[in-house]
Structure 1
């Protein structure tokens, strides 16, 4: 898809369809007012008759009948101006872009990048409009064989602007690169588990690394055994698919500067193991590797954007399957850290494989550690489907992730991680057990991970409720969301190079 800037007056611009935003009110303002004058008051009449009121994401198509060079004008509502923020602009761009696609048009122009938001830069506005448009058009068609000719696609989007400066162009270019990373993450997650195996994830990581200039190393079972990754190997025992441990390193910062470490859960299918899940909706467990996909694609985006930060991504990848070789409830395994874990439920496997990933990550002496995983159904009970759970041991890191969530539209909500919750994970026969009971399940899962995070600044993102979209949102179609990619990129963008230097092992 081609997305580009076009500097031209809306009154002179020739296009099949021109998207224009309008705030909620009694009459058109701004660009809508300019167009209304050329259309002899048609938009004003729509407002007056309440056929279009500018409410959030409201859509109205107008045929200009030769009164403008644009054949059609698509109005999209912004809502009330006092409530208008960057996320609403992103949504308006997504909804309007989908509406144009549904018209069967291959090309169109949008004037949404000309809107002004208080204390928001032209870069952020251009980026949001481009992201909203591109992300809304995602369509997973890999397995469709019938009626492919009916699939509608947009090939070209022009951002109509008053000035063509570097910041606006950079906003567009960055959004294209970030959106590409989100597309790849969505593809990985949408693929069924007989395609997206641990080996597939490793191959995708190597391909991405080669293209984006990232170092990549894959550890096999023998390597894990040598490193004594007992927790990861215990989960992998039940599957015939070989486990993989994916290591990706991007060096955009100064040599020797401590990296940000991202650990993503790469459970390519989770049956629950011996503690098997109910059959209903088990097919959705193909997306249990979404944290791993986000980690791979976030480091890709960081490299493509040439962010001045060092980043490490670690993805433990395996299936969790029942078999005669599978780990069992009551087993005790020794993690890479040397700590022993009593397995209460084999369906609490995500924290097990992340425990070894966090221990492996210690060798990099990271300045911050962020893990993300579809870890607990309890997080969906607590927060629903609109926010990821956030827990950690460092206030500044937590606040930085919150800000990144607000800016990217991938919102998070902090849950407590008090010492009292750690009591629930105490085992009578081992150092820790992998389930702390029903109460506070999201928190006790994080408390388990905290035990393996060491003394580093660490945050945990539980994306169980935000990984999948069931109904479709303005720029998030049904299916995989690719959640975490834009959030992590926004966090990495906020990082400033440190003055001190520390060599990693």
Structure 2
């Protein structure tokens, strides 16, 4: 699918559909909407006056011009009330336009860049949101579909249009940013949507390697022997039950000052999680192929930063494994020793994510990092607390936490901060080891983060619990059912803000 920018007079521009956006209380019509309305003898005004289109958030109305016109149909898309407007509504509107076009079996649509937004919204940001909404709204994972392929309608072109030719440069810049962030998010979605028999730890490493080489990112994938030499007892312990060997994936992108400490992303990479000996219920276990969503986001965001050539030193670390029951699996009551030498009593083998992250966070300390951000589908407790609308955020550095909050709002990958008080550490005290891997149900997201904190070596650190955000079950304007790629765009925005881009 192609996204392009056209700026200047509308005469001569033709397409299967023209999408126009309106606020709920918007009257009278202005700008391009007024021009189109005049050409169509007041058709848009009539629809609004009759109440057929009100401009409410998410509303999409389609009408067909009754006179010869350069656009075969008009999409009217509601933005809701101006006082509740967020830039993500532009992203959603683009997604709705693409979805409506595909529903009507169209292959292209022109979207008029809104000319009625507050001046605080930069044109480049608007174009980025439009591009992301269109590309991600068009995303479809059909790798394993074999029926009715001849009936598939390919959506080919999304044009961002502005009547002001002076807008073309910032709109093009936003389109470029949006194409890269969308590519990264779609890449993460592809990996998440692959079944566990296809995306093994080694396959994830191979996929990352292929793209790392393409974009000039240094790549390593440590084998079990090499992992054993590093004494990563958490990762080795979790992987014991599977015949698929674990991997420790390392990506290094260095384009900042040689003396600058790197920022490190850490992503949980459990390519399938049965729970191990503490096995999960059979119902919905198939969703556990998405337990590597943190890894997908960390890798894809790092590759996007490399594609953008941002001036930063960035590292991504991914402990990748399966968690399966077998005669060699770790058992409740086992003691594991992490890379930093701390001992862990295994209470629940289904609390495996924190075990492999313990080693990755310990390894991250060797970089003397500027900051470390980990992402993990870590706890069901986070879904209980926040549902499927926000990820949990915890950290030991107020500035880093605030940076992440800002990037989350910009990217519309929203988070909610939870406390990290030392009192919660009492729940994970072990009588026979340094720590136990489960503190029970109460405050489960917080106690999991307190566990991780024990493997953070005096560096700035934040933890994103993205459980509940990894999969979409109903379908949204630019997020179809399946893997979401949540966190990818947030991390990219975080780095862009950090380096002033």
- What is the rounded CA distance, in whole Å, between the counterparts of 1:435 and 1:294 in structure 2? 25
The Cα of 1:113 is off from its aligned counterpart by 5.1
- What is the rounded CA distance, in whole Å, between the counterparts of 1:451 and 1:113 in structure 2? 49
Q: Tell me the C-alpha RMSD between the 2 structures.
A: 1.3
Q: 1:492 maps to which residue?
A: 495
The Cα of 1:97 is off from its aligned counterpart by 1.5
- What is the rounded CA distance, in whole Å, between the counterparts of 1:442 and 1:384 in structure 2? 13
Q: 1:25 maps to which residue?
A: 25
The Cα of 1:11 is off from its aligned counterpart by 5.1
1:77-133 deviations in whole A, cap 9, x for unaligned?
Answer: 111122222111111111111111211111221113545333111110110111111
Q: How does 1:18-167 map to 2 (within 5 A)?
A: 18-25=18-25, 27=27, 29-30=29-30, 31-112=32-113, 114-161=115-162, 162-163=164-165, 164-167=167-170
Q: Secondary structure of the residue that 1:170 maps to in structure 2? A: helix
Q: 1:314 maps to which residue?
A: 317
- What is the rounded CA distance, in whole Å, between the counterparts of 1:433 and 1:327 in structure 2? 14
1:400 aligns with 2:377: no
Q: Secondary structure of the residue that 1:43 maps to in structure 2? A: helix
Q: 1:358 maps to which residue?
A: 361
- What is the rounded CA distance, in whole Å, between the counterparts of 1:88 and 1:319 in structure 2? 38
- What is the rounded CA distance, in whole Å, between the counterparts of 1:115 and 1:193 in structure 2? 47
Does the Cα contact within 8 Å between 1:23 and 1:29 map onto a contact in 2?
A: no
Q: Secondary structure of the residue that 2:177 maps to in structure 1? A: helix
1:423-446 deviations in whole A, cap 9, x for unaligned?
Answer: 111100000000011100000000
1:413-461 deviations in whole A, cap 9, x for unaligned?
Answer: 0000000001111100000000011100000000000110121000000
**Residue ranges of structure 1 left out of the alignment (5+ in a row):** 498-505
Q: How does 1:53-452 map to 2 (within 5 A)?
A: 53-112=54-113, 114-161=115-162, 162-163=164-165, 164-452=167-455
- What is the rounded CA distance, in whole Å, between the counterparts of 1:28 and 1:264 in structure 2? 50
Q: Secondary structure of the residue that 2:388 maps to in structure 1? A: coil
1:308-361 deviations in whole A, cap 9, x for unaligned?
Answer: 111100000000001111000000011000000000000000000000001111
1:226-278 deviations in whole A, cap 9, x for unaligned?
Answer: 11001110000000001011000111211121111000000000000000001
Does the Cα contact within 8 Å between 1:11 and 1:35 map onto a contact in 2?
A: no
- What is the rounded CA distance, in whole Å, between the counterparts of 1:409 and 1:124 in structure 2? 12
Does the Cα contact within 8 Å between 1:294 and 1:484 map onto a contact in 2?
A: yes
- What is the rounded CA distance, in whole Å, between the counterparts of 2:329 and 2:125 in structure 1? 49
- What is the rounded CA distance, in whole Å, between the counterparts of 1:28 and 1:87 in structure 2? 24
- What is the rounded CA distance, in whole Å, between the counterparts of 2:35 and 2:64 in structure 1? 16
Could you state the TM-score of these two structures normalised by the residue count of structure 1? Answer: 0.96
- What is the rounded CA distance, in whole Å, between the counterparts of 1:67 and 1:394 in structure 2? 61
The Cα of 1:8 is off from its aligned counterpart by 3.2
Does the Cα contact within 8 Å between 1:92 and 1:474 map onto a contact in 2?
A: yes
- What is the rounded CA distance, in whole Å, between the counterparts of 2:118 and 2:309 in structure 1? 27
Does the Cα contact within 8 Å between 2:271 and 2:322 map onto a contact in 1?
A: yes
- What is the rounded CA distance, in whole Å, between the counterparts of 1:120 and 1:109 in structure 2? 21
- What is the rounded CA distance, in whole Å, between the counterparts of 1:59 and 1:449 in structure 2? 46
**Residue ranges of structure 2 left out of the alignment (5+ in a row):** none
